[in-house]
Amino acid sequence: MAKGSVTPGSVIGVLISGRGSNLQSLIDAQSAGEMPARIAVVVSNRADAPGLDLARAGGIEAVVVSPRDFSDRDGFDRAIAGALMDRGVTLVCLAGFMRVVGRPLLEAFPDAILNIHPSLLPAFPGVDAQAQALNHGVKVSGATVHLVNGELDAGPIVAQAAVLVNEDDTPELLARRILVEEHRLYPLAVRIVLAGGWRVDGRRFVRGPGFTA
Ligand code: GRF
């Protein structure tokens, strides 16, 4: 059984690939004093990710680590892990990071990597989760924050939020409503993890007694 070791005063590193609206929600939560942690660095695998500018505007160091600069995936993962460890990061938040997290990064941050996904996992992992939900005909979808393990969108679930599916929804409309919930959910999940005292029991993430909403 794994025990949560990330505690208040933690240093957060955020990994992005694009827009960065979830990154912004974490920056806003930090600015509002709602997250007992400091975002020290934002790392993107793409130099053109708009989220890099959001980081800089928030006074946060923005770093690009491009997979093109490495001959294999492990090298890329090690470079990201190194960039995070150099800055004292203790909790990693994936926020629209469109790369599978490999072993070197997982081993550098055991039970200390979070991801946000736009569906109620375990339904609809992978890309285009909102379109998958519509095509399946579910009446409720939502967002999930989970610990990252070696499998795609499959780690222990920290927090979820439900969103009703409308009869006339499109993937874009549904994505927009889910995103509103994502922006509330991610800072909440980070606070749950930072409160400490949690444990992973099989598939279950069990909250610590110290967390108050
Ligand atoms: C979000 O929907 C997130 O759940 C998914 O990718 C999207 C990223 O959006 N993993 P943003 O870059 O945070 O705006």
The pLDDT assigned to 162 comes to 98
Ligand 1 atom at shortest distance from the alpha carbon of 97:
10
Protein residue with its CA nearest to atom 6 in ligand 1: 96
Residue 3 has pLDDT above 70, yes or no: no
Place of tokens 């279950």: 204
Higher-pLDDT residue of 182, 150: 182
Q: Is 114 helix (H, G, I), strand (E, B) or coil?
A: strand
The pLDDT assigned to 179 comes to 98
CA distance 159 to 193: 10
Contacts of 32 (CB under 8 A, 6+ apart): none
> pLDDT digits over 96-108, tens only?
999 999 999 999 9
The pLDDT assigned to 212 comes to 76
Side chain identity at residue 72, one-letter code: D
Residue 1 has pLDDT above 90, yes or no: no
The pLDDT assigned to 203 comes to 95
What order of strands is seen across the sheet that includes strand 199-201?
2-3, 199-201, 204-206
Share of the chain above pLDDT 70, in %: 96
Ligand 1 atom at shortest distance from the alpha carbon of 25:
13
Report whether 142 contacts 161 (CB < 8 A).
yes
Task: Give me the mean pLDDT over the 148-165 stretch.
Answer: 97
Kindly report the pTM of this predicted structure. Answer: 0.96
* Ligand 1 touching residue 18 (CB < 6 A): yes
Task: Give me the mean pLDDT over the 105-122 stretch.
Answer: 98
The pLDDT assigned to 39 comes to 98
The pLDDT assigned to 210 comes to 75
For this structure, is 146 an active site residue?
no
Residue 5 has pLDDT above 90, yes or no: no
The pLDDT assigned to 4 comes to 63
Residue 79 has pLDDT above 80, yes or no: yes
The pLDDT assigned to 211 comes to 80
Looking at every residue in the chain, the average pLDDT score rounds to: 95
The pLDDT assigned to 6 comes to 59
CA distance 60 to 42: 7
> pLDDT digits over 160-209, tens only?
999 999 999 999 999 999 999 999 999 999 999 999 999 999 999 999 88
92, containing H or E segment: strand 91-94
Ligand 1 pocket: which of 179, 181, 183, 190 to mutate (most atoms <8 Å of CB)?
A: 179
> pLDDT digits over 33-62, tens only?
999 899 999 999 999 999 999 999 999 999
Provide, for the chain, the percentages of residues in helix, strand and coil under a 3-state DSSP scheme, each rounded to the nearest 5.
Answer: 35, 25, 40
